[in-house]
Every structure is written in structure tokens, then in C-alpha cells.
Amino acid sequence: MNTYRSTAIIVGAFFLTAMATYLVGASLIDSFISSPDYLNEVAGNETTMIMGVLLELVNVVAVIGIGVGMFPVFKKENEALALGYVAFRIVEAAILVVAVVSPLLLVALSQAYLAGGDGEASNFQTFGTLFLTARAHLSGLLLTVFFSLGALILYYLFYRTKLVPRWLSVWGLIAVVLVLTWNLLGTFGISFNVGIIFGLPIILNEIVLGIWLIVKGFEPTAIASLSEKQI
């Protein structure tokens, strides 16, 4: 039982770490790259940009930690789905790593932009646009898809095992569907000024889930039931 309690605390801490580092890291980076004069903004805030990148990399570690941490528990219920969840989280982490490359390239590009002449400005802007477009596609499409697929498995297994209260699992499943809906609408060119409404439920859910796992841990009856299962 102590092992399961430790697992719950560690995974809960990973959930909170992943959410905090991703939100803060992305906010730091996006605050500069969203500016029309982003090359000058990035060049003048290199330290902050790198800090944002480092936070996003910490998020990568936390994402993998969640998948690996839950595998020994989930595999007692369904090993194939448990492996699938780990796989989706690893792919998600890989996409995050690639998405982080763009801000790093922008830092180098911005320095070269300031050192170059006016005649080369259009070339730097072109490369900058390519980097930003690549990050937008990775973060806005691929990342959302793999995160959502992994989250669907996560909350389904939580619902089946009753490791956490079912209201928390149902909340998570509904929140993931909202994220996928937002992503699908965006793919067809439909956007909302209040799009955060679609993402807010999953943000709050993962915060509550992380706190629940740290404070309450897994449900003892669910752990006892899983312990009796043979894989």
C-alpha cells in the first residue's frame, strides 16, 4: 500500500508540475513571439525566452513521468491500454521537444537579425515566420491530438478502476472532448475569441487531480481490487 501511496504523490506532483511549467513557459514565450516586431522582442528578452524554453522542457519530463508512473498501476487493469497511455505520453513529449526548437532558433535568428543590414530583414522575417508556423502546427494540432488521445485512456482507466472518484474521471472525459472539439473546429478554420473556455475545464481538472492524488491518494478499495488481479 505504501508503494501505491508514493506513486500517487509522485504522479500528482508531476501533474501539477506539468501544468504549471507548460502554462508559464508557453506564456513567457508567446508574449514575445506574438508581437508583430517579434524578432526585436526576442532579441531584447533572450534570458526570459530561454527561461520559457527550460520550463517547457521540465514539462516534457513531467509528462513522461506521469505515463511511466501510472503504468504499473494501470497494467493490472489493462496492460495494452496502460502501454498505449505511456506511448501517447512519450509521443506528446517528443512533439513538445520539437516545438521547443523554434523558440531557440528564434533567439539565434533575432541576434543575427539585429546584426544584419536592412536588405536582409525580409529573409530573417521569412525564416522567423517558418519557425513560428512550425511551432503553431505542432502545438495547436499534433500536440493536442496526442495529449487528448492519451487523456481519454487515462480517464477511462481511472473510471474503470475507481482509483479516483468517478466524478473526477467523468469531468476529465468531458473536458478532453471539449479540447478535441476546439481542435477540430480550428482545423476547419472556425475560431473563437473565448476559445479558452474549451481548454479551461481540462486545466482545472488536472490541477484538482494532481492535488487529489497528493492529498488523498488512490482509493484503498480500488487498490485492493487491483492487487487481486493477475496479469
CB atoms within 10 A of CB 35: 12
- Are the C-beta atoms of residues 128 and 37 closer than 8 Å to each other? no
Instruction: Give the CA dihedral 222, 227, 228, 231, nearest 10 degrees.
Output: 120
C-beta separation of 96 from 56 below 8 A: yes
| pLDDT values of the chain reduced to their tens digit, one per residue, 231 residues | 578 999 999 999 999 999 999 999 988 888 887 777 777 777 777 888 889 889 999 999 999 999 999 999 999 999 999 999 999 999 999 999 888 888 888 877 877 767 665 555 666 676 777 777 777 777 777 888 899 999 999 999 999 999 999 999 999 999 999 988 887 776 666 665 556 788 899 999 999 999 999 999 999 999 988 877 754
Q: What is the DSSP letter of 138?
A: I
Q: For the chain, what is the largest distance between any 2 Cα atoms, rounded to a whole number of angstroms?
A: 72
pLDDT for the residue numbered 201: 94
Q: Record the pTM.
A: 0.87
Instruction: State how far the alpha carbon of 16 is from the alpha carbons of 20, 62, 154, 172, in Å.
Output: 6, 9, 16, 15
Q: How far is it, in rounded angstroms, from Cα 13 to Cα 185? A: 32
